[in-house]
A = this chain, B = another copy of it.
């Protein structure tokens, strides 16, 4: 672990940050652990777009400082610790270490690590994150093991972005008339206001995962009303999610906490052995990040 300058005064504030594929949340605390303010900003997946992520981190912390009625200069006396999507990838993590951040000091790890640490108060246990992306992880005697979480292109099955992407793939095949065109395909075209394959591809070919995630509530609603394609997608996603959650439960030999914006909706559809291990979270990932710092458990210190 590194700090900004070893001769600097101790920090006056702590900020815990939770950065995912769609939102970045920050909670500002005083040194005795009282919550002073909270802030939210945009996407902070450091593997997808480092510039955007750094801006979101900064914006969320500034918003928390403002919410606490503290002056902007507070940044320099605030120790920041965060968990960010993509931080498990060496290339992304190494890039973030080079950041000339404005904080007192800056520590980070993956969003999964902070979520897991907060969820079980540092004890052994598992977490299943279902948001824009998807991932499971186990904490066993301080050691983190990850299952899934391979990103939008190569994994993240069952997540909001994956459900959306699969719905678009289906819609394109329905437009080509090699799949039946049902309610899901109609809803996808309506949502993006794109009624030809060319218009859909032109709009979505380079789109962020979050843009695909917009379809998630529509897909869940249609699945709930037994639309066959939506139902099949949700089923395939939940089978995968149950499989990675089961691995994490076995690895940690503990209980499972759910996290992420899509978790609540999919929880009843997970396999029963996985549901039987569910427990509620002790703390959020923001506080989990601060605990990780305090327990000296950060494995990646930021640059000076």
Contacts and interface: CB of A to CB of B under 8 A. Distances in A.
A177 B247 contact: yes
Given A244-B176, A247-B176, A247-B178, A205 B90 contact: no
Interface in A188-209: 197-198, 200-202, 204-205
Contact of A153 (B47, B153, B240): B153
A254 interface: no
Interface string A226-270: 000000000000001001100100000000000000000000000
B168 A154 contact: yes
A90 B202 CA distance: 7
Interface stretch (A7-15, A144-152, A279-287): A144-152
A91 B200 CA distance: 12
A172 interface: yes
Contacts of A217: none
Nearest to A202: B89
Interface in A27-57: 47
A147 B179 CA distance: 12
A204 B198 CA distance: 27
Assembly stoichiometry (copies): 2
B247 A201 contact: no
A180 interface: no
A293 to B, nearest CB: 23
Nearest to A169: B154
A83 to B, nearest CB: 16
A101 to B, nearest CB: 23
Contacts of A176: 147-148, 244, 247
A88 B176 CA distance: 15
A288 B147 CA distance: 50
B205 A89 contact: yes
Contacts of A47: 205
A155 interface: yes
A165 interface: yes
Given A90-B198, A201-B89, A153 B165 contact: yes
A199 to B, nearest CB: 8
A79 to B, nearest CB: 28
Nearest to A47: B205
27 contacts: A88-B198, A89-B198, A89-B201, A90-B202, A146-B197, A147-B176, A147-B178, A150-B169, A150-B201, A151-B201, A151-B205, A153-B153, A153-B204, A153-B205, A154-B165, A154-B168, A154-B169, A154-B172, A154-B200, A154-B201, A155-B169, A155-B172, A176-B247, A177-B247, A178-B243, A178-B244, A178-B247
